[in-house]
Amino acid sequence: MNLDPKLVSQEDRFRILRAIFSCRNIDIKDKEKLLEAEVKRDKNSEDSINAKLSCNALLPDRKNKEILWNKITKETTSDSLVNMQTIMNYFSPVEQYDLVDDFIKEKYFEVIPELGKNNESFYIKEFVSTCGPKHYPTDEMIKKYEDLIEKVKDMSQVKKYVSEECDFLKRAKKSQELCEEYMNSIGKK
C-alpha cells in the first residue's frame, strides 16, 4: 500500500488491511499480495503474525469459516492461546453474520460443554465472549443461554462465563426495548 509512513503507522496499515480482507468484492489474490507486502515491510514481526491470523479469519468465505470453526472448537491446542484469541476475535464480524449464523446461534451452544471439559478457563472465557450471538438480544438466544447454564452447572468457571454472556444479552435486549419505546414515544408527538 502506498501510504506515507509519516502519516500512517504500521498499526493503521494493518487495520486498513483487515478492512480490505473482510471485503467481499476484492479478489483474494490482491488481498494476499497486499498482506505479503505488509508482512515483509514489517519484517515478519509479532504484529505481522497477528495481522496474518486476523486477515485470514476475516476472509468472507464459508469454507474458510468452517475450517476456522473446526480449529477453534476441535484443535484448541494447535496454536498459542494468543493466536487462537486473534482467530476468535475476528471470526464473526457483524457484516459476515450470514456466513457464520449457524455457528454463533446453534453450534456455539452445542460445543461449550465439551470445550469446558477439555480446555483452560482462559480459552473458554475468550470463546464464550467472542464466538456467540452477542448481537442477537432475542428471547430465543437468552433461552439458549439459560439452558446452557443448566448444562454446565457443575463447571463453575464455564457457568460463570456463560452466565455473564446471558446477563449481557438480557441487558442488551432491555436496552433495545427502552430505545424502541423512547423512539415510539417521540414519534407520536
**All structural domains of the chain with their residue ranges:** 7-60, 62-187
Q: pLDDT tens across 129-141, in order?
A: 999 999 999 999 9
Mean pLDDT on 173-185: 93
Q: pLDDT tens across 78-130, in order?
A: 999 999 999 999 999 999 999 999 999 999 999 999 999 999 999 999 999 99
pLDDT at 70: 97
Please tell me the pTM assigned to this model: 0.89
Q: Are 132 and 171 spatial neighbours (Cβ–Cβ below 8 Å)?
A: no
Question: For the residues of 70-109, what is the DSSP string, one character each?
Answer: HHHHH-TTSS-HHHHHHHHHHH--GGGHHHHHHIIIIIHH
pLDDT at 164: 97
